[in-house]
Amino acid sequence: MNLQLGTALMIEGEAHRVVAIGAGEVTLRRETDGRRVQILAAELARSADAASDTAAPIPLDADLQILGELLPEEQAEIRWWVGFLSDLNDRVKVATNAGQPVAPVFQDALRRAREAGHPVSLRTLYNKRQRCAKGGAAGLIDARRARVAVASRHQEVLQAMREVLVDTVDESTGTATRIFFRVRQRLEEAAQEAVTMPSAATMYRLLAQVDPSRRAMGSAATRRSLENRPEQFSSLGVSAPGEQVQIDSTMLDVFVRMPDGRAERVELTVMIDVASRSLLSAIVNPHGTKSVDLVVGLARALVPADRRPPTGSLLRDLAAAADGPQLVSEEELASAQQAMPYIWPASLTTDRGRVFVSDHFENVCSRLGISLVRAAPYTPTDKAIVERTLQSINTLFVQYLAGYAGRNVDRRGKDVAAGDLHSLAHLQLLLDQWVASVWQNRPHSGLRDPLHPSITLSPNEMTAALRHLIPQAPLPFDAETYVRLMPVSWRRIQAYGVTIGHRTYDAAELGPLRGTRSAHREQDGRWPIHIDPYDLHTVWLGDRGDLIPLTWVEGQRLGPMTADVWNHARRTRATHPAEPVRLEAAADTILYLASNPPENKHTARAAARRALPPDFSLPQAVSDQHAPPPVEQGNEDATQDTIESERSGHRPLRRWGVLEEEE
């Protein structure tokens, strides 16, 4: 502000008035004793407690914000009044200096305002001129817009409401009336007497001010999660790929056809590099994530796709024949996987889930020289990057899959698990192809140029840029190390090979080992078989020596109509589920009839008919020529109990020695 003669100032708590202004000095007169003081203009400008009682105050930030929130026509009206009142002040000053009365000036101003479409009374004109002199353009805003929402007399109610909301974080969700009741109780306990509460409308306005997002009446889980949110978000500076890698698991919002034919949801485990946002590994796990699944995911991150055992193409061919085409061709996938950067994780940030603190996972990380960092309890913000990545995978990839279930039951479609679903192996292949071809080449919103925020980089581009300034040359593991990291299952080597998960694996190198026992006495002579849960085509026999690959025998029997045959079988099985208990009982009855002399064929046929499905035709030769043993007089109930017990799940054919127990 520019000082003028007569301006009143407060300096060091004493009132002064400007009496003279020089080139570099200002003469002040102290109001208490009339003493004159000369002070340099620069020193007066630096005086922190100098304040004028006549200068117009600078509009506050709140006033400027309200100006920006006005409608265009309201802003135009305020601009008109600012110019009009400025011209009025100049006319009043001219009339005053000339010794003329100012009343005609105000009457002329009223006429000009009325002709311009802004008619006001003389009192309103005086008020506008006074408010504009004190607050500038912000002083002309309607006072109802700038009014504080909550009066000072409600501060005690606001404080009590904040305390009640803090106390109800871990409670079940209630209504606003319960909050108001507890606020009243808290105020009465503090005042030791009955208090007068504001009206219900005011209480709702106070609650909206204290809890604008209405968390108190929303999800209890969300309320507890947000309560753990830190007061201020912060992140560690990461300057090199692999310096900080975050890992987490979540339930995937899609139904998958499991190996046993059931439709179930699976879990997704991802490892993401914070510096480049590269997905080091992403695997789907049936029946929940286990420590071996984490080790498999770590092995997939440490061994690039082109250095793993060369069975991926065979598995892709099998999945394509059984489940349908892939996202990209074999050549495009190979090119995309070669462009993916290899990043060695120096540290892994995990939560405190049971699988992440298991001895198995910790021992593997310790052997590999990877440090584990535990996030604080109930603090997902310690690994916010991987949490957000899981949501991105759901919106960018999962929701386009067959069998998408939505994030909750309220968002789930009708019979989403009854149609054609992806198998677990097919889903893993699609996920691998999507990561290599889409995610790694898609611009990431978290990789922005700080000086040019509109420029975003992809994870592949960010890794290349970081390594241009911070050179790295990590050496990946080879295929043998990858297999050695896989979980081990102990099996006997039969004459036909090895059976794992109802699949038969065999190789010519098993010739001298068939039927032999290993040197592992604690495993009763069984042999160690390394299994990649996401490569069904090959397993490896390893025993301190070379690894022997064993190929899935049935996986190579792919006919020209494999996809059509199995898709039809899946649809039939989903529409008309099999009845394994009744079929087993029917088979047992037929074998029982075939192994006993015919003495009561009517009882035998009736028992077989009850055991068989309605659409199953019993062979006439069996039903007519064979029957169960004769029923003694008075013992019909015992025979009926025997038949019913066989139908309810007993296996007579095992008791008769027809089949041998599997290994």
pLDDT at 248 over 80: yes
Within 8 A by CB and 6+ apart from 32, the residues are 14, 15
192, 69: one domain: no
66, 44: one domain: no
Structure confidence by residue, pLDDT tens digits, 369-378:
888 888 877 7
Structure confidence by residue, pLDDT tens digits, 468-510:
877 776 767 777 888 888 888 899 998 889 998 888 999 988 8
571 domain residue, yes or no: no
In this prediction, residue 301 carries a pLDDT of 86
Name the 3-class secondary structure at 468.
helix
326, 452: one domain: yes
394, 422: one domain: yes
355 domain residue, yes or no: yes
446, 302: one domain: yes
Between residues 485 and 613, the one the model is more confident about: 485
378, 268: one domain: yes
274 domain residue, yes or no: yes
643 domain residue, yes or no: yes
- Distance CA(67)–CA(59), nearest Å, equals 10
23, 105: one domain: no
Name the 3-class secondary structure at 321.
helix
Phi/psi at 269 (5° precision): -120, 125
pLDDT at 394 over 70: yes
Q: What is the mean pLDDT of the chain?
A: 77
Least confident of 76-90, 274-288, 616-630: 616-630
Which CATH number covers residue 22?
Answer: 2.30.30
Domain boundary among 146, 163, 190: 146
Name the 3-class secondary structure at 30.
strand
Q: How confident is the model at residue 50 (pLDDT cuts 50, 70, 90)?
A: low
Domain boundary among 116, 146, 176: 146
113, 157: one domain: no
496 domain residue, yes or no: no
pLDDT at 467 over 80: yes
pLDDT at 419 over 60: yes
504 domain residue, yes or no: no
427, 459: one domain: yes
27 domain residue, yes or no: yes
385, 283: one domain: yes
Could you report how far apart the first and last alpha carbons of the chain are, in Å?
96
510 domain residue, yes or no: no
Q: Quote the domain boundaries for residue 170.
A: 152-227
Q: Which residues of 612-650 are buried (b: 16+ CB within 10 A; e: fewer)?
A: beeeeebeeebbeebbbeeeeeeeeeebeeebeebbeeb
33, 92: one domain: no
Count: domains in the chain: 5
Which CATH number covers residue 317?
Answer: 3.30.420.10
Task: Assess contact for 219 and 322: CB atoms under 8 A.
Answer: no
Structure confidence by residue, pLDDT tens digits, 508-526:
888 888 888 888 888 888 9
Domain boundary among 227, 260, 289: 227
The reported pTM is 0.59
Q: How confident is the model at residue 299 (pLDDT cuts 50, 70, 90)?
A: confident
**Cα 541 to chain center, whole Å?**
39
- Beta strand 371-374 with 347-350: parallel, antiparallel or unpaired? parallel
- Distance CA(480)–CA(482), nearest Å, equals 5
273, 305: one domain: yes
